[in-house]
Chains A and B, each alone.
Chain A
Amino acid sequence: MSALFESVGRRVPRIESREKVEGRSQYIADLYRPGMLHGAILQSPFPHARIRSYDLTEALAMPGVHAIVTGDDFAEPNRMGAFIKDEHALAKGKVRYVGESVAAVAADTEAIARAAAQAILVDYEELPALLTPEEALASGVHIHDGVERYFKVFDAGSQGNLCSRTEFSEGDIERGFGESDLVFEHHFETQAQAHVAIEPCGALVEVDPQGRLTVWSANQSVFRVQACVAEALGIPMTRVRCLTPRIGGAFGNKMEPHVQPIAAALALKAKRTVKMILTREEDFEMVRARHPFKIRIKTGVRRDGTFIAREVEVLLDCGAFADDSPGVLGFGLLCARGPYRFPHVRCHGRLVYTNKLRFGAFRGFGNPQVSFAGESQIDDIAEKLGMDPIELRLKNILRGDDRSLGGQMLFSNGLKDCVERARDASGWVQWTNGGAPAPSAPGKKRALGFALCGHISGLLASGAIVRMLEDGTVVLNVGANDIGQGSDTVLSQICAEALKIPLENVAFVSPDTDGSPFNWGTTASRVTFMTGRAVVGAAAEVEKQLKQQASEMLECSAEDLELVAGGAVAVKGVPEKKVGFFEIAKRSHWFAGGPIIGSHSWVYDRPTIDPKRAAAIGLPFPRIGAYSFSATMVDVEVDEVTGAAEVKRAWSACDVGRAINPLLVEGQIEGGVAQGIGFALVEEMVWDGARLANPTLMDYKIPTTREVPYELHPIIVESHDADGPFGAKGVGEVCLVPVPAAVRNAVKRATGVRLFKLPLTAERILRGMLGKN
């Protein structure tokens, strides 16, 4: 590849920026169709109850009501679930949490639909509610009757209220602890976090004249929506076409279905277009959230700081349905060792059904929780050993030929650079030697805190089609949703770079299951890496066809040709002997060879686990990898009177392989750190018994401009991954993962208070300070 990059590495604003600042972007709630109906749901008032019967008489009699669907409209076998098929689109037979969708109405207006939903009478027989994993494991009452019989895509080990269990081991954990000079064991807890995309979830479903469904929705993958709607309704995928409007933010909450199958059932029953948009409260109560984790972590080290053995045991609250939870459990455990050389590791855990909202995918996918535990403990170990916590980490991090847990090769590893650059930028050394980079205000205590992590960006399948138009410009079609992070722009840059054409000559196609190549989804930090590589492959195919055409036009061998900047093919070393894409496109369309279309698709196929190195039980994802790394430093000030902690400054160094667009990489880092600060300090979903007590933005706080430091420094580390497109790998999650532990470690260094539970509220910190005194 030429050293001169035309598009890759440029700080290009998002290609759809102008429509967004002018308010012309259409999100799901902005779509209107002639004669459409509006949908509304009825939610369960009980955490666990059998549904004896429905009385729809009053609701159906209300003027303007066109259709009502209940669990009876969904056949028993039509259960959804990415890992375990345990969920109908509406509660069927039973309700399993407060807020679960029980029935839905389509009516002329939203007001009528909402009033009619409230007029539906459901006869419930209450069952005992199981609100914690411990209660559920001990109880003879089962939230799912016969989870053992549910279809599963992996060996989940489900039994009673145990949804799944997973275990990884390398080396010999008992021997490892035996060989350790010191063994540390701690218990950590993390809270439920709400995604709070500013756009609530919704869907619009139209039945076309052929009887096919067209589904628009707030989503992270049109293909995932297609699969789930087809599964929920028991119809072939050919009858479902999914499209995407602009997405108003998504952090895992819009990957699996929310109301799409319900809206689809209403549209089929009413034979009309149905639009259904959740209120903020409904979105909090019935979409999904980040899992609360309970973590026991035991680490054995030598007196010189060498890491020997680590055991991590986790207990996850699954909520009422499996959703992505088995994946979160498995991935969390895969990350629980941390990117360190531990010869002896055992990570194991259980996922338990409870009568709460389903928990699921959320930026980091289990890694923020286990990293909070692991990275907090490492700081405490450093303190005990009298070592600098960063030196202790540098002594043990993965380098060179070291592998991930499970034995996967690392094709790039910029972790050491991340650590050193975050350390040096923050003035850590000066500060730990007694100097303070900024004086503490009276009544305040201030310190730096550090943490790091590794995270994947390679998994599942992606494709790309690059089509040359008659004028020599191209259309890029990948089926990957841009959820705001900027993938439309980044993938267009990759395409422009590969073909050496201006970015303006690439048109980006909005994902459409009828026309786009398969893309598993915009999730798991995967789009730049996975889909970017598909784009490179498709562009290479176009290049081959261009050269074939040019060789006939220039009467030379295709091997003697190369692409030159600006959209032309030239004889190597003779740049004036060339033909432009325009001429080639004309020839291919009207004379010889046929229109130029390049496509490429692939699936990530490197095994997660090398059986010669590691053992796995209940592995939910046999092929994932491509590790990114990051290191976070935060400067935290704690108020000695109130206990409130404030992040004053932050540095986040992320190894992204190569920054295709540094402006957008910075955006990911800044947004990820902000979300991590929210998770660390202020965000928590609270239940009052079985009912979510704070399902509003008045009561559930996310960071505002006052909680995010202006001095938030993204540091881009480029390690050039040989597997990635132009060396790139993912950044969406590594930036968030270490933040809670870094803040916790800073609070400890400032106040001496060691906390083991998130969020680090003023009350907890103050109690710690008072207790200490």
Chain B
Amino acid sequence: MSDTLHVKIKVNDSPVALDVPLTETLLTSLRDRLQLTGAKRGCNQGVCGACTVMLDGVAVRACLSLTANCEGQSVLTIEGAGTDRSIAALQEAFIEAAALQCGYCTPGQLFAARALLEQNASPSVEDVQKGMSGNLCRCTGYNKIIDAVRTAAQRLQP
């Protein structure tokens, strides 16, 4: 395991330097090295979306992203996202609509919703269904999530 790489990234606006094995995923680095556990491991193969974070402004699956590839990039996790205008609006809307139950998928849902709203500032129900079909939730049946995303979208209108 001597194949490690020195990687400098920014995590939630703070510079971080890590020596990581080439095969280490961003999810493992965040959770096990940095104790940023808001990104969850649900399937570890990019299907469930519970590990979704922002990498240089793009929503990515942390379980499919190699830390070694992130040199110089900026990672935003839920722990650092409270000041993000879009995330903050989504958080409030999720709470009010009861768009979460167990909460395990919620950080990932919030980033997926943020990415959707960046593409489409006032999505229809169908747009949300399409845009967020890659984030699994086993508790809610999704409709309260859809409502929350659309409520947040409305509130974010300039």
Contact of A198 among B78, B102, B142 (CB under 8 A): B102
Q: Please, how many angstroms separate the alpha-carbon atoms of A18 and B138 in the complex?
A: 20
Chain A interface size range:
35 or more
Contact B136 A21 (CB under 8 A): no
Q: Do most interface residues of chain A lie in helix, strand or loop, or is the interface mixed?
A: loop
Closest to A699 in B: B47
A138 within 8 A of B: no
- Residues from chain A with a CB closer than 8 A to the CB of B82 are 22
- Residues from chain A with a CB closer than 8 A to the CB of B136 are 196, 198, 697, 702, 704
Q: Please, how many angstroms separate the alpha-carbon atoms of A21 and B106 in the complex?
A: 6
Closest to A196 in B: B138
Interface code B122-158, partner A: CB below 8 Å = 1, 0 otherwise? 0001001110111011111111111000000000000
Spot the interface stretch: A393-401, A478-486, A527-535, A575-583. Answer: A478-486
- Residues from chain B with a CB closer than 8 A to the CB of A197 are 102, 104, 138
Contact A21 B110 (CB under 8 A): yes
Q: Please, how many angstroms separate the alpha-carbon atoms of A140 and B102 in the complex?
A: 46
A246 within 8 A of B: yes
Which residues, 81 to 100 on B, are CB-close (under 8 Å) to A? 82, 90-91, 94-96, 98, 100
Contact A13 B102 (CB under 8 A): no
A708 within 8 A of B: yes
A199 within 8 A of B: yes
Given A280-B42, A710-B125, are A667 and B144 neighbors across the interface (CB < 8 Å)?
yes
Interface code B17-44, partner A: CB below 8 Å = 1, 0 otherwise? 0000000000000010001011111111
Q: Please, how many angstroms separate the alpha-carbon atoms of A585 and B101 in the complex?
A: 35
Spot the interface stretch: A25-33, A502-510, A598-606. Answer: A25-33
A487 to chain B, nearest CB (A): 11
Closest to A735 in B: B141
A674 within 8 A of B: yes
Contact B137 A198 (CB under 8 A): yes
Interface centre among B77, B95, B101 (most CB of A within 10 A): B101
Which residues, 642 to 683 on A, are CB-close (under 8 Å) to B? 663-664, 666-667, 670-675
Chain B interface size range:
35 or more
A448 within 8 A of B: no
Contact B143 A708 (CB under 8 A): yes
Contact of B43 among A18, A280, A486 (CB under 8 A): A280
Contact B100 A14 (CB under 8 A): yes
A247 within 8 A of B: yes
Closest to B126 in A: A710
Given A22-B78, A696-B43, are A671 and B133 neighbors across the interface (CB < 8 Å)?
no
Closest to A696 in B: B45
| Interface of A toward B, CB cutoff 8 Å | 13-14, 16-18, 20-27, 29-30, 32, 195-200, 246-251, 277, 279-280, 483-486, 663-664, 666-667, 670-675, 696-698, 702, 704-706, 708, 710, 712
Residue contacts A-B, CB under 8 angstroms, 23 given: A13-B96, A14-B100, A17-B98, A21-B90, A21-B100, A21-B103, A21-B110, A196-B136, A197-B102, A198-B136, A200-B41, A248-B40, A249-B101, A280-B42, A485-B101, A667-B101, A671-B138, A696-B43, A697-B45, A697-B136, A704-B134, A706-B130, A710-B129
List 4 A-B pairs, minimum CB-CB distance, nearest first: A23-B38, A484-B102, A20-B103, A248-B104
